[in-house]
Each structure stands twice: as structure tokens, then as C-alpha cells.
A and B are shown apart, each in its own frame.
Chain A
């Protein structure tokens, strides 16, 4: 790896410069109306100004709060069952990231309402997707690389790429040692029935990092470094086979906006993730940086993308951003066509995830009172794709400590590490 990227110091400088520039260009601010071609109306300008003013006001309030309590903002953790939950979405109060106002509505929902009108033109059409596919397909042996975890979203993505868009996909699954048998069965069924080429990458590489996260009680979320790792891996595979399109199964709740898409779906810079991202940063600094095994490990998704861009140009898309129908429709299709099955137990309900996800969810709930699934579903509630009741029922904790203990054993940790 070192040989590929040059000397370590040089690489670090480069990565630092690029990530500063990259992050700077991607800091979210209200999208100007309709592609920016039309001149902004006075009303819109005023509204934008109001949003900015409100931003500044909220920042000041947070700072004042932190000072008055004489604590650093991110050390502010309360027990989850004491927390009030926003009346519109499912996020609990988690100062200083998420605040509830007097009406019991979180500042993220309030913010969304304010900027809603600017974000209206983020509606994607299927024809847009086809345009993107036509632009890139046919450049190599495979038209696209489909990241296939065996869940409903990624399996249906694979189905759509092959059947609906008539492309030649390469299905790609990575197993860090904690994938469930049910998920693997689903992947196997899908690739066999669709007759697509299939690549399985199984490794123990990440196990040490995962167990470190648990043991150090750092507050970092396991899914975060995992997503950085698997995206890096996917880009490498795409480069290896010269594949121009990477297809993921991300849904509209995970991401809907173009700049976020290019960041592979997850935007850790949004306020909901602020505490988690900080803990992650700290964990990287204290435990990953000095570890010789992970010395080339990318620190952030931005870094993954910078590296990937140098290696090979490709785009990352998800058909679910462009299709009008919800999960019910495609679950029916893949059940029928690919013999796909829901796993017996998963968190949140109606999803498919690895075993470590239970630990990740457990830790997040304990440390922050919510998981990244809460953030995702809250977003879907705000755009009207999900009702709050549905989200709450899906997000109900459905696993017990026994299961957590079993998985901890597999990971080489003790229940004491989690104070169970």
C-alpha cells in the first residue's frame, strides 16, 4: 500500500489538504432554487438570510449552554429512557447536537421546514438514472459493480440492474466475518437465479478494529469505519475490473442529494452525527493512527473518494433514489423472482444486517440514545415517505443482552467491556 501512495508523510499532507478542500466545498447550505439559472427572488433571498441568522443564533445558544454547564459539549450524555423524543421525527434530545423546542420538535425538523422550499427540486426521475447509465455503461467487461449485502435494497438493486436496465453487473459481497447465513443465502440465490458473475471477499482484517472500538469504550460507531473500509474496498474492485458504475442499495432516507451521493450516501457532517463523528475522530487518533496494521486506513469517506478518484474514475448511484415506489413493491418482486427471504431477527425490523450491527445499535443507543437508523428514518418521515408510528415500531429494540454476549464472544471481547 505504501508503495502505491508514496511515502507516509507526503500522503498524510496530501490527504489533509484534499480533505480540507473537499470538506470546505461540501459544507451543506441551502440549495438555490432551480439549478441556479434563474435569478433569485427577493423573497427567497430574505428566507435564506433568515435561515442563516437562525443558524448563528442556534450556534450561540449551544455555546452558551455548554459554557454554563462547564462541560465540553460532546461529553453530554444522558440515559436514553429519560430522553424526550421529537414529536415529528424519532430523534431524541441529544444536546448539543439535537435540541427540542417548547413544542417538542427538534431543531433538525425545524430547520428542514425552513429550507424545504429550497430543496424541492431534488426529485429524481427514472429517466435521469437511465441517462446516467447510458453515459457510463459499456466501457468494460462489466457495466456496473453491485454492492450486494443480501438485504432487500441491495438485492433488488442487483435485480433491477440485470432485468430492468439490462446491464451486465458484477455482484460483489464483502464478509468481515460477521455476516449472517441468511444474508449469504439471499445473495447466493440472487446471483444464481440472475446468472450474474459474483465476487465474494472474505477477510478478518477489520476484526481487531471492531474489538478495539468495543474495548476502548470510545463511543465510536462500529458501522462508521466499516463503511469506510468497504467503500474503499469496492472502489479498489471497481478499479481492478475497470467498472465505471458502482451501484449501491441506498434508499432515499440514506441520501437524496447529489453532493451527498458523491460522498457515498452517508453525510457524517450533518448535526445528527456530530457527536458520533467526533468520537470516531478521537478513536482514529488514539487507536488507529499508531497501529501498523491500519496505518493506511482512510480516515474519512472523503479520503476514500480522493484516493478512489486518483485510481479510477467511476460513479456511485442507487436505483432507489430514482424509482417512485417504496420497499413494499420491490420486496414482493425479489421474493417472487429471487426467492429472497427476510431474516428472522434484525435491527431495525424489516432490514438485513450483519451480527455486529446489534452491537453497533446497542452501543449507539447507550451512548447517544439513537442510532444512524433513527437519523435515516427521521429523514424519511420529514419527506413523507414513512410515518412516525411505522418508524417507531421498526426501531423498537428487538434483541436482548444474551445475543449481544454471544456476538461479543465471537468478536473476542468480554461482556464486561460493555458493562453487561
Chain B
């Protein structure tokens, strides 16, 4: 594995995600939520967090199991995923074909002062995803791999995991709603009508 972190998340995340309307999206706290809130203007097909660290992948898994008719994307960071990395094993035994996970790995805890995370010190979340029996896994660290990643997120041949290695440039600034109840209601109304 190369150790380059040359991609900037502000361009790489939108390029990998493509049209966000193709997905229901669950975002882990901090940078990943800002990336996707900015991309969608805090859309009703996304549920972002500013806490509950370690819960994004499991929340996306619950949504994917509930809605096999929809493509579900989890966007999270290396720190958020490391807090509950066992969830990859739960994804791996179920392998929901409509679930994709995009881990934006900048090797640091950006919200708390850019302390190094375990991935900056040799831990490879892509190998952990492979070892967790997730059928499709890739590490993306250069521009020429992005179109393949965008396609993999959309394929429905099995659950997929994309590790997007980026530099430490900050996520975009976005004023997003922190009211989880309001966002839950909006998400459900958009998906389910008035259920």
C-alpha cells in the first residue's frame, strides 16, 4: 500500500459519491457529515451526526436491511469507524447488496486538533474490511481510481467498502441542522411519505 495522502476531501468525496440523490446516506460525526451536508445542502436523503461516535455503519446497516429496494451509503471517517470497527464484521456476515461504506481516511482526528489516528500509524481499515468478509473492498488514493470507486459504490453485487485516503485539508464549512429529531422526520417524510 502506498502511503500517499494527496487527495483533498473537498474534491475527492464529491467525485467518488457522484450524484448523492442515488443514495440514502448515513454520515458519521464531524468531517464526513460536513462533506455530505455540503454536497447535498443538508438534504432530506441524508442523516448526519455530531455525536454517537461509532454508530454510523450500524445505523446504515439497519437502514439497508429495512430498505433493500434502496441503495444505502455510509460515509464516515477513520476515527469514527475505529471506535466500532467490529461493525464491519456484522456487515460482513450479512453482506447486504444495497449497502456501501465510504471511509474518508485522513489519518487524523480533525475535530479535536488533528491528533494522529491509528491509520496514520500503520493500521489498514481496508484490510480489516477484507478480513471482515465484506465482499468488495478497495483503497483509493489517486485521481485515476476515482471513477472505479464511484461505480463500485453503485454496484449491487454485494456490500462494498471504499477506503478513500485523503490529506489533512479540512472538510467544507456548512451550517447544517443539529436537530436530529427534525432531520429524522424530514428523512422519513421524504422516504415514506407521512408514515
* A and B interact physically: no
Q: Identify the B interface with A (CB < 8 A).
A: none
